[in-house]
């Protein structure tokens, strides 16, 4: 097939594999590129570095790890990671044990079991609702084995009750942030990141999952309204991560969580491609690559050269390290400050300590 004909090929919406041959934990990048290459490109874009480039070049998230044999500062190539029959990026549970241990030692990467994510998310919801009962699930501990799990309270004949003064729409739009998000298990629990076990849509416990459940309970057959509210839910879910493969996996999980919830609700997967593109755009802003200690794009702090005049008229050049790296003060780092989208004003803002949005000056 010629390049000209290939470029004219129409893209198709992504379809969750659960409706074809079962749940797919490890999403196939080759499938995304085949059906909707523009979505793969969007899921890889680095919004901060793209905005900071004076020449207008589009930047992709970087590996920020040498686990894959590529330079840590190299950008992730969509063509490279989407070759048929060659799987490069994998969830942590599918990586070799030695690779998992290395990442734990090098980057303190330790993923949280889903039952722990659920317990902590339940605490957040209990505070928001002002009560402990009649929420999303019931926590269970097996007295014999000590195994922890949960049972969803989902009932097709009932809806979650909301407290006086707060509506279900308020809940859908309430902002949630997962710090050092890895593959985003606190935002969406498509699978247990420690065991790899798939989690059915109605049993999922992530913040985004809970929002989508509320939407599904409150919206009837109006598919368009469901998608509009799902967009609002996505806009309210944020997360940052150092390692590029995790950033990408988190973004994939967020997109597929919505597609799978839509299929679970309506037993069809016809989410229009234009809507899927919009979802991918939102996710690419809300899940970003950042050094969670310095609050800058990883590895962007740099030495600065200053010129010091001498009494004899000569100039002495001195190389000074990044003030923040030397002092440990977050606000003194000279790396590239991360941009995220404040969807209430629909403008990019800086994400600054302590976990706040700040208007971009100039």
The angle at the Cα of 339, spanning 326 to 245, to the nearest 5 degrees, equals 80
The answer to whether the CB of 219 falls within 8 A of the CB of 168 is no
Reference 297, options 105, 67, 46; nearest CA is: 46
pLDDT tens for 244-290 read: 999 999 999 999 999 999 999 999 878 999 999 999 999 999 999 99
- pLDDT (0 to 100) of residue 9: 59
Query: Can you list the alpha helix ranges (DSSP code H) found in 182-313?
Result: 207-218, 223-235, 244-266, 273-286
Query: Closest Cα partner for 240 from 302, 295, 188?
Result: 295
Full-model pTM: 0.92
Asked if residue 165 has pLDDT above 70, the reply is: yes
Q: Which of 107-111, 118-122, 141-145, 336-340 has the lowest mean pLDDT?
A: 107-111
- Give the tens place of pLDDT for each residue, 180-236: 999 999 999 999 988 999 999 999 999 999 999 999 999 999 999 999 999 999 999
SS3 162: coil
| Rounded Cα–Cα distance for residues 283 and 83 (Å) | 23
What percent of the residues of the chain are helix, what percent strand, and what percent coil, each to the nearest 5? 40, 15, 45
Token pair of 133 as six digits: 């009962």
pLDDT confidence tier of residue 107, bands split at 50, 70 and 90: low
DSSP 10: P
Q: What is the pLDDT of residue 108?
A: 67
Digit-coded pLDDT (tens) for 268-280: 878 999 999 999 9
Q: How confident is the model at residue 95 (pLDDT cuts 50, 70, 90)?
A: confident
Residue 36 to residues 15, 77, 280, 303, Cα–Cα distance (Å): 11, 16, 11, 41
Compare 216 and 7 and report the one with higher pLDDT: 216
Mean pLDDT of 280-308: 96
Q: How far is CA 2 from CA 5, 9, 84, 138, 267, in A?
A: 5, 11, 19, 57, 37
Q: Is 284 exposed, middle or buried (0-12, 13-18, 19+ CB in 10 A)?
A: buried
Whole-number Å distance between alpha carbons of 181 and 183: 6
pLDDT band at 105 (very low <50, low <70, confident <90, very high): low
Q: Could you tell me which residues are beta bridge partners of residue 123?
A: none
C-alpha torsion angle, residues 263, 341, 91, 107 (rounded to 10)? -160
3-state secondary structure (DSSP) of residue 253: helix
The alpha carbon dihedral of 226, 164, 155, 193 has a sign of positive
Residue 18: predicted pLDDT: 67
Whole-angstrom CA distances from 324 to 84, 295, 296 are 44, 11, 11
pLDDT at 332 over 50: yes
Strands 176-178 and 237-241, by their bridges, are parallel
Alpha carbon dihedral 352, 354, 357, 362, in 10-degree steps, equals -40
Q: Judge contact between 289 and 351, C-beta under 8 A.
A: no
State yes or no: pLDDT of 3 exceeds 80. no
Mean residue pLDDT across the chain = 92
């Amino acid at each position: 097939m010629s390049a000209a004909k290939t470029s004219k090929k129409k893209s198709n919406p992504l379809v969750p594999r659960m409706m074809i041959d079962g749940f797919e934990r490890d999403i196939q990048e080759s499938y995304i590129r085949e059906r909707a290459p523009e979505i793969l490109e969007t899921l890889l874009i680095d919004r901060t570095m793209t905005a900071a480039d004076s020449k207008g070049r589009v930047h992709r998230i970087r590996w920020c790890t040498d686990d894959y044999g590529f330079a840590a500062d190299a950008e992730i190539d969509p063509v490279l990671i989407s070759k048929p029959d060659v799987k490069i990026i994998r969830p942590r549970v599918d990586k070799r044990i030695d690779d998992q241990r290395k990442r734990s030692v090098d980057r303190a990467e330790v993923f949280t079991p889903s039952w722990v994510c659920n317990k902590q998310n339940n605490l957040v919801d209990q505070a928001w609702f002002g009560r402990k009962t009649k929420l999303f699930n019931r926590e269970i501990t097996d007295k014999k084995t000590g195994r922890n799990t949960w049972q969803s309270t989902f009932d097709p004949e009932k809806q979650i009750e909301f407290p006086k003064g707060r509506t279900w729409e308020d809940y859908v739009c309430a902002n949630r942030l997962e710090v050092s998000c890895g593959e985003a298990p606190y935002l969406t629990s498509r699978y247990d990141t420690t065991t790899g076990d798939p989690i059915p849509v109605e049993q999922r416990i992530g913040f985004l999952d809970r929002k989508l459940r509320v939407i599904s309970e409150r919206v009837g057959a109006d598919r368009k309204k469901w998608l509009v509210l799902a967009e609002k839910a996505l806009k309210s879910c944020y997360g940052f991560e150092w390692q590029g493969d995790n950033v990408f996996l988190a973004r994939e999980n967020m997109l597929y969580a919505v597609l799978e919830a839509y299929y679970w609700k309506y037993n069809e997967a016809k989410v229009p491609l234009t809507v899927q593109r919009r979802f991918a755009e939102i996710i690419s802003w809300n899940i970003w690559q950042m050094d969670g200690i310095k609050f800058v794009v990883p590895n962007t702090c740099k030495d600065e050269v200053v010129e010091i005049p001498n009494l004899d008229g000569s100039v002495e050049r001195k190389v000074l390290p990044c003030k923040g790296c030397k002092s440990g003060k977050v606000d003194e780092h000279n790396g590239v400050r991360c941009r995220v989208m404040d969807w209430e004003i629909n403008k990019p803002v800086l994400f600054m300590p302590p976990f706040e949005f700040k208007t971009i000056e100039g």
